[in-house]
Amino acid sequence: MNNSLSTLELLSNELLINIFRYLNTVDIFQSFYNLNFRFNTTIQSLDNHHLTISENNYKINFNVFSHYINSLTITGEIDINLYYFKNIRHLILHFPSTKLLEQLNYNILPHLEYLSIPDMLFGMSPIYQKIFSSTFPNLKSCNLYGFETIETILTWTQTASLRILKIGLIDYHVYKSILHACPNLYYFKLKMFQSYLKLSNIYEHFNLKKLEIHSDINDWYYNDQLIDIFLQCVPNLEQLSIDRIISVSKIVELIPDYNWLASIISLHLSSLQYFNFCLHLEYHYEVLQFLSTEIRRLLRQLFFNAHQNHYQSRFIIT
């Protein structure tokens, strides 16, 4: 061990830093920390300490080095006190416990810049609303696409720093509240919930440039009305992606006069540069023959004819 240590000590700080970047954070601290002042200083200078906590290692004493962790991933319903990780800027939670979610606030995580909870969570609406009512002044990116909720969020704290947001099922009222609370939002990905409430009081957000809408609403014409109102709020949009679903049995009635959102885009999005449309077909094996090459070709032709090269467009059938 002494010979190995002596050999390492002959290396420059730059080489030591490069070596440490390939090692697990736990191994770095357990093997090299507190050996001498130089190693301590070098390890502390690293700005990419990442730690993954799972059922395999959650009993390790992380308190010794937790305040040096910049990026933290927690997998499973593990009860960890996030107070010891006050300096983290990047947090990913896979299937977290309610106790863990309840710790998501500024007092515990004052430097948080990225939050991701990507997995499907059910019955979490109170926690969902708690997250949005918290204040994270440094938060730049938030991925809550796995949350499945249709409840209107009444309180969304002003979050001027937020630039990227991915979120689960929301209606127009939540959509409008988010745009109002996040004036610098650049990229917004959402799942659209079919709302029967009166849609009024359009709020315009001028900084959003990229919008992705996923919709499972089978009523296409009503869905178009919702998309119309959503797009009225973002006049400076440059990239639009629509992900929709339709039953194969309804394609015949759709084909003759549907204009594939071209009129809505023309009316509201004069700055649009890219339009992606992904069409998911629902079918049973007994009607599989209906999905002929000719039908697919016709759908593509009608789509591109509708948009007539006013912007770059892409049409995907799955």
* pLDDT 10s digits, 203-258: 899 999 999 999 988 788 888 989 999 999 999 999 999 999 887 777 767 777 88
Domain residues for the domain of 236 are: 217-317
Residue 55 lies in a domain: no
Higher model confidence: residue 196 or residue 8? 8
Residue 124 lies in a domain: no
Residue corresponding to tokens 């959003």:
208
Structure tokens at 290: 């209906």
Q: Are strands 274-282 and 312-317 parallel, antiparallel or unpaired?
A: parallel
Residue 154 lies in a domain: no
**Domain total in the chain:** 2
In this prediction, residue 123 carries a pLDDT of 54
Residue 205 lies in a domain: no
Query: Is 71:50 a contact under the CB 8 Å cutoff?
Result: yes
The contacts of residue 222 (CB under 8 Å, 6+ apart) are 194
Model confidence pLDDT, tens digit, residues 32-56: 888 888 888 888 877 778 989 988 8
How confident is residue 163, by pLDDT bands cut at 50, 70 and 90? very high
Residue 92 lies in a domain: no
Residue 71 lies in a domain: no
Higher model confidence: residue 88 or residue 42? 88
Q: What is the pTM of this model?
A: 0.84
Write down the mean pLDDT value for the chain. Answer: 83
Residue 68 lies in a domain: no
Residue 198 lies in a domain: no
How confident is residue 148, by pLDDT bands cut at 50, 70 and 90? low
Q: Which amino acid is at 138?
A: N
Highest mean pLDDT among 31-35, 105-109, 119-123: 105-109
